């Protein structure tokens, strides 16, 4: 694995960042392309994860070509219903290809997905939803085989808890099913609305409300051209970076409404955060008080994917903040690394942390990213610190942040990647 070298100068970041297309929107959309004749996706971010998704498409016989942040995807005929163990191990989103592959080929075989290590991440809700729509599923060790020879059948799917991925699996299976599907208690993340917008352009009939209602086509989809929504987690990460350095940034192509809880918290810390003609503006003070509590939870609450970055910010403020992670049981691995850089954060149990802000800055250090957002938190701490920091396992960050070294250098942070 490679590393980032960041020369922190504790100078406020300033300038403009153009936010790219959302990783967590484009991955389910690329998976859904297996059911389409062809598709053109604009604002498709050049990331390790989108390259991995293109490899999975190739494995299933679907062509994918990238050109200037657009992806041209086409099913030329033929192809295979199986995704290799190696490709499935590259990312969690490989499971999102299960339903589209089965819709096209009548069956699909995949392996348990890899992805960021955030505790147990089972796929039971995906499989249960597919069984409700008529799939026959058998699991042997890490292999999952799905048969739906005559396609999926509409039905009522009830989710006990919120799952973004399982909701996406249910939607993609339902659009090609015969009959009507109702998804009760679906996840409501904006990335799910973006998937539905894409599918509707390709000929699906999806209505999003309290319950998601889908009139199945009883067959595959046609062509769609779609611009992927802006990445709200990338935008949130740069907002937090600005707050951590007392900086001032314009984030072009960012939607404040997608990260309202973060904007509110930052305003409470004394930042000016405003939406200005398709951009988000932030002007942050050098010193700030922390709020007493921050709780991550499914949309529209504070997103788990910003919890590590926010924890990194809180440690620089003044006061005690309790952070509670309610989505993943194992999203705490950034904490010992932030402590190595001078933070004072106690892990009470794996989901509750006490951040003891003493108004002190980070110091440079050699640290290791254990997953994508942990890496982002370390980048923020290193940019705020004075001196040269090394962040190992840089590839985790490259999975989800488009052109990060270039974007950082444009706002005043010297950051290099070494393979
Ligand atoms: N869960 C189950 N069974 C399932 C599915 C999920 O128990 O079958 C549990 C998970 O273990 C977790 C909770 O439900 O505790 C929520 O997981 P969810 O299914 O919502 O997450 P996901 O679809 O695997 C997506 C994002 C994640 C993001 C979460 C929550 C993509 C590609 N990934 O994951 O993004 O954290 O939703 O918002 O969309 C990231 O970008 O860093 C990242 C991890």
User: Among the listed ranges 136-145, 207-216, 267-276, 406-415, which one has the minimum average pLDDT value?
Assistant: 136-145
Q: How far is the CA of 202 from the centre of ligand 1 (A)?
A: 26
> In a 3-state reduction of DSSP, which class is residue 320?
strand
Instruction: Please report the atom of ligand 1 found closest to the CA of residue 163.
Output: 20
pLDDT at 112: 87
Q: What is the pLDDT of residue 119?
A: 65
Please report the pLDDT score of residue 221 as a whole number: 97
For residue 41, report the distance from its CA to the centre of ligand 1, in Å. Answer: 23
24 lines ligand 1 (CB under 6 A): yes
Q: Which ligand 1 atom minimizes the distance to the CA of 187? A: 20
Residue 44 annotated in active site: no
* pLDDT at residue 359, as a whole number: 86
Whether 206 lines ligand 1, by a CB cut-off of 6 Å, is no
Res. 169: pLDDT tops 80: yes
Ligand 1 atom 11, closest CA: 121
H-state helical runs in 269-392: 307-314, 334-340, 372-384
Give the confidence band of 116 by pLDDT, cuts at 50, 70, 90.
Answer: low
327 lines ligand 1 (CB under 6 A): yes
Q: Which of 64, 116, 196, 374 is catalytic?
A: 116
Question: Looking at ligand 1, which atom is closest to the CA of residue 299?
Answer: 38
Mean of pLDDT values over 95-107: 97
- Report the 3 state secondary structure along 197-227: HHHHHCCCCEEECCCEEEECCCCCCCEEEEE
160 lines ligand 1 (CB under 6 A): no
Residue nearest to atom 32 of ligand 1 (CA): 24
**Percent of the chain residues past pLDDT 90, beyond the cut:** 91
Kind plus residue range of the DSSP H or E element containing 114: none
State pLDDT tens for residues 308-338.
Answer: 999 999 999 999 999 999 999 999 999 999 9
Q: What is the pLDDT of residue 115?
A: 59
Mutating to test ligand 1, I would choose from 25, 121, 169 the residue with most ligand atoms within 8 A of its C-beta, which is 121
* Residues ≥6 apart with Cβ < 8 Å to 243: 266, 269, 271, 282, 284, 288, 313
The rounded percent of the chain whose pLDDT value lies above 70 is 98
pLDDT at 59 over 80: yes
Ligand 1 contacts CB of residue 165 (under 6 A): yes
Tell the residue nearest (CA) to atom 28 of ligand 1: 305
pLDDT confidence bin for 417, thresholds 50/70/90: very high
Looking up tokens 């300033």, which residue turns up? 14
Check pocket membership of 372 for ligand 1, CB cut-off 6 A.
Answer: yes
pLDDT in tens, 206-264: 999 999 999 999 999 999 999 999 999 999 999 999 999 999 999 999 999 999 999 99
Report the pLDDT averaged over residues 159-174.
98
Instruction: Give the residue, out of 24, 98, 158, 185, with the most ligand 1 atoms within 8 A of its beta carbon, to mutate for a pocket test.
Output: 24
8 Å CB contact between 71 and 47: no
Q: Is the CB–ligand 1 distance for residue 169 below 6 Å?
A: no
Instruction: Give the predicted TM-score (pTM) of the model.
Output: 0.97
In b/e form, how buried is each residue of 365-387, taking b as 16+ CB within 10 angstroms? bebbbbbbbbbbbbbbbbbbbee
| C-beta separation of 33 from 73 below 8 A | yes
Whether 184 shows a pLDDT value over 70: the answer reads yes
């Amino acid at each position: 694995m490679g590393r980032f070298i960041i020369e922190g100068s504790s100078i406020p970041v300033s300038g403009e960042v153009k936010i790219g297309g959302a990783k967590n929107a484009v991955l389910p959309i690329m998976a859904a392309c297996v059911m389409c004749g062809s598709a053109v996706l604009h604002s498709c971010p050049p990331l390790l994860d989108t390259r991995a998704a293109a490899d999975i498409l190739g494995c299933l016989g679907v062509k994918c070509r990238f050109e200037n942040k657009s992806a041209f995807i086409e099913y030329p005929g033929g192809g295979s219903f199986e995704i290799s163990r190696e490709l499935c191990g590259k990312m969690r989103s490989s499971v999102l290809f299960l339903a589209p592959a089965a819709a096209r080929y009548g069956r699909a075989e995949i392996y348990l997905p890899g992805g960021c290590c955030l505790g147990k991440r089972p796929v039971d809700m995906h499989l249960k939803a597919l069984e409700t729509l008529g799939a026959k599923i058998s699991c042997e060790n890490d292999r999952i085989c799905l048969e739906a020879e005559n396609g999926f059948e509409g039905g009522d799917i009830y989710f006990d808890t919120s799952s973004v991925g399982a909701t996406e699996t249910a939607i993609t299976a339902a659009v090609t099913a015969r009959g009507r599907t109702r998804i009760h208690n679906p996840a409501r993340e904006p990335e799910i609305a973006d998937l539905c917008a894409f599918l509707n352009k390709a000929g699906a009939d999806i209505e999003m409300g309290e319950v998601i209602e889908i009139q199945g086509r009883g067959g595959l989809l046609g062509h769609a051209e779609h611009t992927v929504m802006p990445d709200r987690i990338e935008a949130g990460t740069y907002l937090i970076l600005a707050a951590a350095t007392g900086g001032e940034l314009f984030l072009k192509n960012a939607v404040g409404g997608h990260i309202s809880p973060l904007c509110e918290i930052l305003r409470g810390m004394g930042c000016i955060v405003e939406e200005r003609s398709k951009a988000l503006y932030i002007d942050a003070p050098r010193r700030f008080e922390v709020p007493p509590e921050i709780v991550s939870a499914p949309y529209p609450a504070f997103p788990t994917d910003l919890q590590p970055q926010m924890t990194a910010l809180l440690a620089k403020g003044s006061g005690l903040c309790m952070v509670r992670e309610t989505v993943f049981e194992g999203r705490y691995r950034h904490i010992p690394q932030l402590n190595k850089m001078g933070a004072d954060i106690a892990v009470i149990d794996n989901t509750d942390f006490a951040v003891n802000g003493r108004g002190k800055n980070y110091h440079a250090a050699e640290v290791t990213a254990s997953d994508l957002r942990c890496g982002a938190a370390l980048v923020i701490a290193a940019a705020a610190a004075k001196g040269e920091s090394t962040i190992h396992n840089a590839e985790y960050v490259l999975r989800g942040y488009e052109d990060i070294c270039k974007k950082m250098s444009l706002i005043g942070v010297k950051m290099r990647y070494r393979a």
